[in-house]
């Protein structure tokens, strides 16, 4: 029997994704699909805002309310709490109603911190999918994100203030979480919001320890490896031209997502226009008023895995899905980061020698030109990325997650 084969009673597994970004949804889509194909009874609950990108799914999908991406971006830009008490309180009520109707034997969440409350109130095991760089045990460099006040202080002073007051910031974010837990008679998470992000009866890190080393790995926490996903559907009409390339000019793949400061994609295209390279770029709906240089081809969405495989260098927003997609194909990555999640991930990638971290608000076309030139000629970085591709290929996240799911169900029975 394979690791993802269901127990004899075919239990129902409910996946709940907080759809503040596409990444939190598609990770669960991939894992839910793996269990569904192995015979598990799977259901996905999320906001339908990304349904047109995700495409049709072979299992049941429930529509739930999640935070609008605009509100999420405002919170992480200003440094205010991501989840306030009314939001978390409503989430807990919605989830308990969902549990009562669907009767799951196991709940899996991605960035849905309220599940640590609702699942325990309902007596349902909770498996949390998250990133290891959020763990207090992660041994990584912490760089100040693009908060609104960074430009006013200047980067050196802002970095000092960020490190000096980091714990106060985490406590500020933890306040609403502790309040909703106390309301329902549960112990608090302490003053560190990261404890809420990694909380679960079992916690799966969609990372590799090669990039995110840990001081220690608490019981119930494990690495499953990066969870792959690419948008369904055919590539653009010009894709055959990419496949037929003679390789005389390097190919750069650009995918910055739908978030981040306006104008960054244009600056990237302008910087790459000065180089003897070919460019393919995913605009994610942000193609209006772009000046497209002669060496670039654009599409709303591209098959990221195929694009990374064809490219010599990948430029993304620094989030873990884009960086791991590049590294899975053995390609170095330039991450143009904006929010805390992206800075945590990309600082670790840079320190491990697989790419370079760039600040989104200050990046210029000249900086892109220089960094892309260096990255394309950095043989050590390219060799490191190729070696890491082997570790990613061997990580088998779906199978490892299936083992965690089976263990969580078994622990419930004992």
d(CA 106, CA 35): 12
- Render pLDDT for 142-188 as a digit per residue (tens, 0 to 9): 999 999 899 899 999 999 999 999 999 999 999 999 999 999 999 99
pTM, two decimals, is 0.94
DSSP 8-state code for residue 133: G
d(CA 189, CA 178): 6
d(CA 361, CA 372): 18
- Considering only CA atoms, which of 273, 274, 278 is closest in space to residue 239? 278
Q: Write out the E strands in 302-386.
A: 313-316, 333-337, 355-359
With contact defined as beta carbons under 8 Å apart, do 385 and 332 qualify?
A: yes
Cα Rg, the chain, nearest whole Å: 21
Mean pLDDT by 10 residues, the chain (414 residues): 68 96 95 96 96 94 92 82 94 98 97 97 97 96 93 94 93 96 96 96 97 95 95 89 87 86 90 97 79 94 93 96 96 96 96 97 96 96 96 95 94 73
pLDDT of residue 1: 53
With contact defined as beta carbons under 8 Å apart, do 315 and 265 qualify?
A: no
Q: Which stretches within 61-126 are classed as H helix?
A: 69-78, 85-102, 115-122
Question: To the nearest 10°, the Cα dihedral for 209, 210, 215, 220?
Answer: 10
- Render pLDDT for 84-95 as a digit per residue (tens, 0 to 9): 999 999 999 999
- Considering only CA atoms, which of 266, 246, 264, 277 is closest in space to residue 375? 277
């Amino acid at each position: 029997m394979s690791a993802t084969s269901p127990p004899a009673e075919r239990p129902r597994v409910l996946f709940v994704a907080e759809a503040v970004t596409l990444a939190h949804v598609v990770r669960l889509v991939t894992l839910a699909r793996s269990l569904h194909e192995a015979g598990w009874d799977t259901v996905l609950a999320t906001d339908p805002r990304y349904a047109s990108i995700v495409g049709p799914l072979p299992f049941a999908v429930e529509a739930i309310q999640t935070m609008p991406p605009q509100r999420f971006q405002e919170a992480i830009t200003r440094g205010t709490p991501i989840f306030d008490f009314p939001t978390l309180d409503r989430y807990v009520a919605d989830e308990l109603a969902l549990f009562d109707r669907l009767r799951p034997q196991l709940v899996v969440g991605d960035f849905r911190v309220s599940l640590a409350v609702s699942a325990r109130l309902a007596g349902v095991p909770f498996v949390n999918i998250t990133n290891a760089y959020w763990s207090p045990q992660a041994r990584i460099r912490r760089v100040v994100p693009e908060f609104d006040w960074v430009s006013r202080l200047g980067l050196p002073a802002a970095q000092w203030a960020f490190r000096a007051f980091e714990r106060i910031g985490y406590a500020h974010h933890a306040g609403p979480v502790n309040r909703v837990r106390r309301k329902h008679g549960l112990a608090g998470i302490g003053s560190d919001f990261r404890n809420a992000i990694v909380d679960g009866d079992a916690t799966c890190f969609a990372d590799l320890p090669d990039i995110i080393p840990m001081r220690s790995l608490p019981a119930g926490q494990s690495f499953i490896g990066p969870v792959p996903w690419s948008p369904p559907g055919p590539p653009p009409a010009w894709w055959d031209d990419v496949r037929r390339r003679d390789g005389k000019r390097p190919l750069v793949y650009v995918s910055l997502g739908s978030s981040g400061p306006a104008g960054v994609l244009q600056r990237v295209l302008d910087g790459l226009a000065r180089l003897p390279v070919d460019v393919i770029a995913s605009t994610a709906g942000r193609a209006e008023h772009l000046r497209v240089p002669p060496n670039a081809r654009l599409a709303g969405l591209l098959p990221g895995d195929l694009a990374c495989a064809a490219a010599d260098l990948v430029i993304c927003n620094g989030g873990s899905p884009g960086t791991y997609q590049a590294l899975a194909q053995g390609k170095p990555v330039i991450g143009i980061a904006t929010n805390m999640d992206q800075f945590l991930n990309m600082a670790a990638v840079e320190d491990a020698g697989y790419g370079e971290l760039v600040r989104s608000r200050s990046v210029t076309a000249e900086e892109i030109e220089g960094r892309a030139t260096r990255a394309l000629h950095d043989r050590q970085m390219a060799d490191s990325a190729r070696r890491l591709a082997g570790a990613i290929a061997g990580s088998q996240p779906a199978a490892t997650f299936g083992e965690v799911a089976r263990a969580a169900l078994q622990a419930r029975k004992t």
